[in-house]
Structure formats: C-alpha cells, structure tokens
Amino acid sequence: MKPVIRLSVSEAAKMFGISQRTVRRAIQNSEVTYVVVQGRYKLNFESLLRWSQRTTTVKNKRDKKGIGQYVDKWKISSKLYSPNPKTLDEETDAPTTV
C-alpha cells in the first residue's frame, strides 16, 4: 500500500508559495482531498500537486515561490547516488496485497 502524505493548510501554503486563503478556497470548492484530524484539515499531497498543475495561477506561484523553484537543483548529476534501475523494477513488479 502506498503511503499517504498529508499536509496542514499552513504547510501546503508555504510549500506551494500561496496564501492559506487560497488553500482554504480549494478545500471549499472540493478541488483537493482532505481529512479532518482533531478539528484541523489534513490535505492529501497528491491531490494538492494535481490541483497546482491544473490551476495556472497556483502553478506559476508554485514554480516561482514554492517547491518548483528547487526542481533544477534536484536533478541528479552523479550516477553514484542515482537509484539502481533494477531496484525500481523490483518495486513495481512486487505483488500488492489488499
């Protein structure tokens, strides 16, 4: 089973370079998936990412002020630290239990 990453409203706003109000508007419009834990929203990171790719304004802010500004720095130049392709294939071939 794939682990689910959940962020609070403030964490999502900081990570994507947008205001908390924008995140709350997305929640209100059912554009992102979430759960309520102890009276606080916990947003699904995957749905936040999909939402940020669909919405042009959020996409631009994400790339200029949020995590998108670091993407070029994440590119791996040394194969020493790159994931082994055989390992990746084994993970995708592994049977999943439900």
For residue 41, CA distances in Å to 6, 32, 96, 98 come to: 9, 11, 29, 27
Give me the pLDDT at residue 67, please: 83
- The pair of structure tokens assigned to 18 is 């947008």
| DSSP structure string for 62-95 | HHHTSGGGGHHHHS---GGGSPPHHHHHHHHHSP
pLDDT, tens only, 10-53: 999 999 999 999 999 999 999 999 999 999 999 999 999 999 99
Contact 52, 62 (CB under 8 A): yes
**Residues 6+ positions from 30 with CB-CB distance below 8 Å:** none
Query: How far apart are the C-alpha atoms of 43 and 23, rounded to whole Å?
Result: 9
On whether the pTM is more than 0.75, the answer is no
